[in-house]
Every structure is written in C-alpha cells, then in structure tokens.
Amino acid sequence: MTQLANTATDNYPLCDGCAAAIVNADMGGFAFDPQISRLVETFVDAAGMLVHTGTNPVPDTVEWDCAACREPQIGDADWVTTL
C-alpha cells in the first residue's frame, strides 16, 4: 500500500464516493455499508470542516488508500483540506 505524497499536512486524498458524500454532507450513499459509513463519519469528526481543493491524477500503477473509508484506490484522487 502506498501513501500519496503530500499527506503530511491537512490534505487528505479521497475516493469519488467519499468526496461526494463529504462535500455534499450526505452519507446516504453509504447506507448499504454501516462499517464504511462509520469510518467516513469518524474521519469527518476528526478532521473538522473540509473543503474540496481539486482532483489529482494518480498513475494507475499506484495504489493508495482513501483517507476516509480506507479502501484501496486506483486512479485519480479527490483532495480535501481543512479550513
């Protein structure tokens, strides 16, 4: 598992699903999976107010973990940062 490069500060890489849920403050999409729903809520509680800062392409050869649901991801990362 590879951590994406600039996670040192308050920048977090998110998968599409978590980015949409967090930016829209709508956890309804995780209703099918209470465990993921809990992980995402825990992440939001710990991080505080988050704003979407952009999408970064990640080479397909790099596997990274979503900061919220902890699921391994391949491809572009949505980045959020704390206010």
Site for Zn ion (CB under 5 A): which residue of 22, 44, 69, 77?
A: 69
Residue 44 or 69 with smaller CB distance to Zn ion: 69
Strands (E), 9-61: 11-14, 50-56
Residue 37 or 49 with smaller CB distance to Zn ion: 37
Tell me how far apart the alpha carbons of residues 30 and 4 are, in angstroms, rounded to a whole number.
24
Tell me how far apart the alpha carbons of residues 1 and 70 are, in angstroms, rounded to a whole number.
11
Pick the stretch among 3-11, 12-20, 24-32, 49-57 that binds Zn ion (CB under 5 A). Answer: 12-20
**Interface residues with Zn ion (CB under 5 A)?**
15, 18, 66, 68-69
